[in-house]
Amino acid sequence: MALEKLKKYAKKTNSLLCFGIDPVKSRMKAETVSYFSELIDALLEENLISAIKPNYAYFAAEGFDGLFALKELIDRYKNQTYVILDAKRGDIGKSSKAYATEAYDFWGADAVTVSPYMGGDSVKPFLRKDKLVYMLGRTSNPGASDFQEKILSDSKTPLYEEVFKKAKEWKTGLVVGATSNAIPKAIETAGKNTPLLIPGIGAQGGSFETFPALKENPFIHRINSSSAIAYAHEKTDESPVKAAVAKAKKTKEKINSLVF
């Protein structure tokens, strides 16, 4: 059911683009809800995005005001597009169960990002038939090499490939950054029905070159861009909305040229 909802929004918009919401007060020209709702409304109206990904940390950093803004944004858009709560949870079983209740039943997210490095009992409480877990596989940050790329002595493969294998076994999605060349390996290892959440194409400078690997089952994947869209106006003379729409159009067109 979770995959069908992913496909529905992607087919409706003919877009795999996910808009990441990372509010930074000094970069916005209005308060959080007003600023991002204007951007999201415009991006949805133009069929440019098929998901939003609010980053919990940015909202929580603003205390209760930020958390109220997060709730307002999710409530507003959860019936208009796919909502991925980027919370990177992962704890012992009982704690993970509580975090899953928070993500799905309180915030109302369709999906949540989860760190798998405490093992299966930390991931499985998030598994529901109508929800989706994106396990951190090979992430887009520079520090990913510290642990994720360590070669295992028994298999002679990087640690992140073990996460890819577990994604297939546990039927989860994967976070695989565009700053590495791991996307084809993720699909090969986890299978064509494993949805990928792909960050890193914007400010992190990730490459689009491995995106043709998504062709076999494209509508289940989401490619995220956050600040490059949200703050596109910083590099132009346009309004935040016009600049965001223009940047998202270029990004969507580039993705579609490689995937469809």
Per-residue pLDDT at 47 exceeds 80:
yes
Lowest mean pLDDT among 62-71, 117-126, 143-152, 226-235: 143-152
Phi, psi of 226 (to 5 degrees): -110, -90
What pLDDT score does 204 carry?
76
Q: Which residues of 48-70 are buried (b: 16+ CB within 10 A; e: fewer)?
A: bbbbbbbbbebbeeeeeebeebb
Q: Which residues of 180-206 are buried (b: 16+ CB within 10 A; e: fewer)?
A: bebbebbbebbeeebbbbbbbbbebeb
Mean pLDDT of the chain: 94
Sole residue written with tokens 């992913």: 6
Token pair, residue 8, equals: 């529905």
Give CA–CA dist 215/258, Å, rounded.
8
Give CA–CA dist 20/65, Å, rounded.
19
Residue 168 annotated in active site: no
Tell me the residue range of the domain where 216 lies: 2-259
Per-residue pLDDT at 5 exceeds 90:
yes
Residue 200 belongs to domain with CATH number: 3.20.20.70
Marked catalytic residue, from 5, 71, 78, 88: 88
Decide the pairing of beta strands 173-176 and 51-54: unpaired
Q: Among 203, 188, 53, which Cα is nearest to 132's?
A: 53
More confident call, 248 vs 93: 248
Per-residue pLDDT at 1 exceeds 80:
no
* Tally of structural domains, the chain: 1
**Measuring CA to CA, how many Å separate 240 from each of 22, 25, 237?**
15, 14, 9
Helix (H) or strand (E) holding 37: helix 32-45
Sign of the CA dihedral with 204 first, then 175, 42, and 36 last: negative
Q: Is 9 left (phi over 0), alpha (psi -120 to 50) or beta?
A: alpha
What pLDDT score does 191 carry?
96
* Residue 133, strand partner residues: 112
- Per cent of the chain over pLDDT 70 is 100
What pLDDT score does 156 carry?
76
Contacts with 260 (C-beta within 8 Å, 6 or more apart), sequence order? 14, 215, 218
Per-residue pLDDT at 174 exceeds 90:
yes
Other C-beta atoms closer than 10 Å to the C-beta of 154 total 5
What pLDDT score does 107 carry?
98
Give CA–CA dist 202/185, Å, rounded.
22
What pLDDT score does 212 carry?
95
Per-residue pLDDT at 97 exceeds 90:
yes
Amino acid at 189: T
Q: What is the pLDDT of residues 144-173, one digit of tens each?
A: 778 787 787 777 788 889 999 999 999 999
What pLDDT score does 143 carry?
83
Q: At CA 56, angle to CA 182 and CA 18, rounded to 5?
A: 50
Token pair, residue 228, equals: 């490059």
Give CA–CA dist 116/160, Å, rounded.
10
pLDDT category of residue 105 using cuts at 50, 70 and 90: very high
